[in-house]
Chain A
Amino acid sequence: MSALPGSPEGTAVTGLDSSPVDAGSLAEVPPLPERARLEARDIIARYPVARSALLPMLHLVQSYQGYVTPEGVALCAEELRLTKAEVGAVATFYTMYKRRPTGRHLVSVCTNTLCAVLGGQRIMDALSADLGVHHDETAADGSITLEHAECLAACDYAPVVTVDYEFYDQQDVESARALVAALRRGEKPLPTRGAPLTDFRGISRQLAGFSQHADDAAAAAAVDAPGEYGPTLRGLRLAAERGESAPPMRGPEPEPADAGEPRETVRPSGTTGETPGQEAADARVAAADTPAEEAGAAGSHPDAPEPAGRRLPDGSTGTETPAGAKPGTGDQGPDVPPPAGEGSDGPSRTIQGRAPKRRR
């Protein structure tokens, strides 16, 4: 791709800024397929007013091309009957829309106050040195775009790094360097909280509201991916240890009988049990009757398959849907059969007072 008409060679490739760009890094950008236009119309159909689709559509452009290209701006403008300037004005406002080609993965390091004082700035400096790039620049091998991020809403896991926005919590300089080195080798280390990595384009597809996975099993594995949720569950575990809970709700609340309880509730030794003490606490929780007491029993063990590569499903769904026909129903999640149980007539089990009986 060359410079925009009227621009000096080597500048203004994106149409969104005029800073010099290394033309060599642009070689790999494929043209937008016709499917992208159909998917854009699917997005438009979700909303009562078409323009609401613009942000997801820009994510969609990035899912095909890795950044907001002039071609992508033009597509959005055509479909929404806007000028390219209007689309460009929106695209340049938001930090997640990239103005230049991105690497295969986007590595973001939180350097806001709390993460920074706990080591985030040192992590950023080390990765910057290792990759030979600064904020918002891409390594020469095209593997990684590095950025410093503002608060990523994971302060209880500080300092945090994200790869394609998936959390790698409680990092230090060495672990972050190892992570980045692995990514450059083409490996995809599992996030501590999040789904197995695809790449920046894959996650952009999800942000557009589509599944980034080719099949339902991979999509389900992404949703159910196990993780380390210690800080999230700390208060809940402590409440269980101390036997503290919310006041009981009013009304008749018969004690649930042991018989007939589904047994899939809890596995005492979950991925969340970081220490023997916590595992013991988890086991106690596992024996409890109430969800309040089930703290710490999280941790699923789906046999997660290998991270699926970014393969796009056949673009055959819902492209005939007229705009505005059924907002909200387009590609917003996998079809799931209705649950068998009703779940409403049983005894309330959520808040049962302070000393629930143990079951074992």
Chain B
Amino acid sequence: MPLTPVLTSRWGAENSWRLSTYERLDGYSALRTALSMAPDELVGMVKESGLRGRGGAGFPTGMKWSFIPQPKPGEEPTGPAAMPKYLVVNADEGEPGTCKDLPLMMADPHSLIEGVIISAYAIRSTFAVIYVRGEAVHAHRRLLNAVGEAYAAGYLGTDILGSGYDLELVVHAGAGAYICGEETALLDSLEGYRGQPRLKPPFPAVAGLYGAPTVINNVETLASVPFVVRGGAEWFKAFGPEKSPGPKIYSLSGRVVRPGQYEAPMGTTMRELLEMAGGVRPGHELKFWTPGGSSTPYFTAEHLDVPLDFDSVAAAGSMLGTTALMVFDETDSIVEATLRFTEFYAHESCGKCTPCREGTYWLVQVLERIAHGRGRAEDLEILLDTCDNILGRSFCALGDGATSCITSSLKYFRDDYVALLPPEEQARLGRTRLPIEPVKAGAA
């Protein structure tokens, strides 16, 4: 498939983060269209477009919006329908390998803000928050500036563009916690608590921020909304497969010649993307890669032709996640990679639930001894058994995600683990020693 810059289309313009540039390049024209439509029309349009959440889970965006309880005509609203509605932007990008939202907010913050205004209008919210990762200071800075510009120009505040619609938008900096990318942990954090996930149900659409109906959407999702409004649902569906259409930012990193952001239709394959990025570095070959960050099971060279859309990747045994394509070659140790990812999950586990808190700790211990040549024959089964006790038994998806790299690496590269065991342990597995040296930290 060809490259199709849409979300990235303005990124190259001079001072692309400034309102003057954005307006010159059609910025805020979708907002004018949207404000002339009924909110329900917008929800229907986004539903019809097939836009699915870009934060990893791929939930249909329009459907999520439609779950917000709204007052019924002619009836006195009660319960959640009578409460304020909130829109919260999940800009807490931190999944290892994921690097699409930060460049978007740095290069084109107004596209996110326009998406926020349209989406908030659609769900009848008058207060929205962009929860941006604390470490992302340059993105935070440009967002603060852009929100100030938007207020001054009348795109935010009271009676937006004379429509009678009011919206306040706050840019809120986090403080360093991967778990806050989980939507209910984000809400707790935004309310001024430790960022720990909530039990669902109730879902945020009914009881979210301050207990009121809340939509939480990813940055790339909301930045897509103005294009849906301008181009129409049919135009948006022209990108990629019917069930998960749209332009998508693919982030290639690691052992490729030209790492970077490549925007192409949903369903583009890794083979096509690798070709765009100049391939794996010369003299080396692809060994393993992630389709959507460290929480998505590894793929190998046999998966180069899997269309990278939500359903095709799931059918092939992984998850599309955030289309964070980390590429590793034959010089990279799968065990070291997996150990470092697991250390990450152990560090970021919030401690609320036992399977994740204790399980990730023990996974690190076992992986560490394998990586340093002190593993035991039964360790591989211990890893799988521990993963089995975390997956599906944790409070939130962090625990599930922590098992992906371990189970998939044992599926595709079991011999790499075995080769790191001492000879006598290998013998217990009926193997002879394979020629692999123990992992050295940071070996390149």
Contact = CB atoms under 8 A, between A and B. Distances in A.
Interface of A: 46-49, 51-56, 58-59, 80, 89-90, 93-97, 108, 111-114, 116-122, 125, 149-158, 162, 164-167, 191, 193-195, 203, 206-209, 219, 222-224, 229-239, 242, 244-247, 249-250, 262, 264-267, 270, 285, 290-292, 294-300, 326-329, 332-339, 341-344, 346, 348-351
B153 A90 contact: no
Contact of B99 (A93, A108, A156, A327): A156
B442 A54 contact: no
B25 A291 contact: yes
B242 to A, nearest CB: 15
Contact of A117 (B14, B144, B252, B444): B444
Interface residues of B, number: 119
Given A155-B251, A238-B276, A292-B9, A47 B145 contact: no
Given A165-B135, A235-B263, A297-B13, A94 B176 contact: yes
B403 to A, nearest CB: 16
A236 B20 contact: no
A265 B210 contact: no
B211 to A, nearest CB: 10
A238 B24 CA distance: 23
Contacts of A267: 14
A101 B251 CA distance: 37
B234 A250 contact: yes
Interface centre among B14, B20, B261 (most CB of A within 10 A): B14
Interface string B207-246: 0001000000000000000000011101100110000000
B52 interface: no
Contacts of B133: 153
A242 B153 contact: no
A294 B442 contact: no
Interface string B36-57: 0000000000000000000000
Contact of A155 (B98, B136, B137, B194): B98
Interface in B153-205: 153-154, 156-157, 168-178, 189-195
B97 A151 contact: yes
Given A156-B253, A222-B141, A234-B260, A328 B127 contact: yes
B4 A195 contact: no
Contact of A291 (B10, B96, B137, B141): B10
* Secondary structure class of chain A's binding surface, majority of residues: loop
Given A232-B260, A333-B146, A55 B25 contact: no
Given A48-B210, A117-B443, A155-B253, A350 B26 contact: yes
Contacts of B24: 262, 265, 341, 343
Contacts of A351: 6, 9, 231
B26 to A, nearest CB: 5
Contact of A52 (B11, B101, B156, B190): B190
Contact of B96 (A151, A203, A247): A151
B143 to A, nearest CB: 9
B240 to A, nearest CB: 11
B193 A90 contact: yes
Nearest to B154: A338
Contacts of A209: 144, 171-173
Contact of A116 (B94, B232, B442): B442
20 contacts: A47-B170, A58-B175, A59-B134, A89-B194, A94-B134, A96-B174, A113-B294, A149-B135, A150-B96, A151-B96, A156-B253, A209-B171, A236-B8, A247-B4, A250-B234, A266-B14, A294-B13, A295-B12, A298-B13, A351-B231
- Determine which residue in A250, A266, A344 has the highest number of CB atoms from chain B within 10 A of its CB, and name it: A344
A186 to B, nearest CB: 21
Contacts of A247: 4, 235, 238-239
Interface string B1-24: 011111011111111111110011
Given A94-B195, A114-B254, A235-B276, A206 B137 contact: yes
B29 A234 contact: no
Contact of B191 (A49, A113, A296): A49
Interface in B45-101: 84, 93-99, 101
B324 A339 contact: no
Contacts of A96: 134-135, 174-176
A314 to B, nearest CB: 19
B299 interface: no
Contacts of B25: 291, 349-350
Nearest to B193: A90
A230 to B, nearest CB: 7
A113 B337 contact: yes
Contacts of B127: 48, 327-328
A195 B172 CA distance: 19
B26 A349 contact: yes
B212 to A, nearest CB: 9
Nearest to A248: B235
Nearest to B440: A121
Contacts of A337: 152
Contact of B136 (A56, A153, A327): A153
Contact of B444 (A119, A156, A245): A119
Nearest to A207: B173
B250 to A, nearest CB: 8
A119 B440 CA distance: 12
Given A93-B195, A194-B137, A297-B12, A231 B260 contact: yes
Among B9, B16, B154, find the residue whose CB has the most chain A CB atoms closer than 10 A.
B9
A246 B239 contact: yes
A332 B171 contact: yes
B175 A97 contact: yes
Contacts of B138: 166-167, 191, 193-195
Contact of A246 (B5, B135, B294): B5
Given A223-B17, A328-B127, A341-B23, A156 B261 contact: yes
Contacts of A246: 4-6, 9, 239, 247
Contacts of A326: 168
A339 B23 contact: yes
Nearest to B139: A153
A177 B251 CA distance: 28
A336 B150 CA distance: 9
A299 B192 contact: no
Query: What are the 6 tightest A-B residue pairs by CB atom distance, in nearest-first order?
Result: A333-B148, A121-B442, A234-B260, A328-B168, A235-B262, A343-B23
B344 interface: yes
B32 interface: yes
Given A206-B141, A332-B148, A249 B232 contact: yes
Contact of A95 (B176, B238, B324, B444): B176
Contacts of A245: 2-5
Nearest to B25: A291
A151 B98 contact: yes
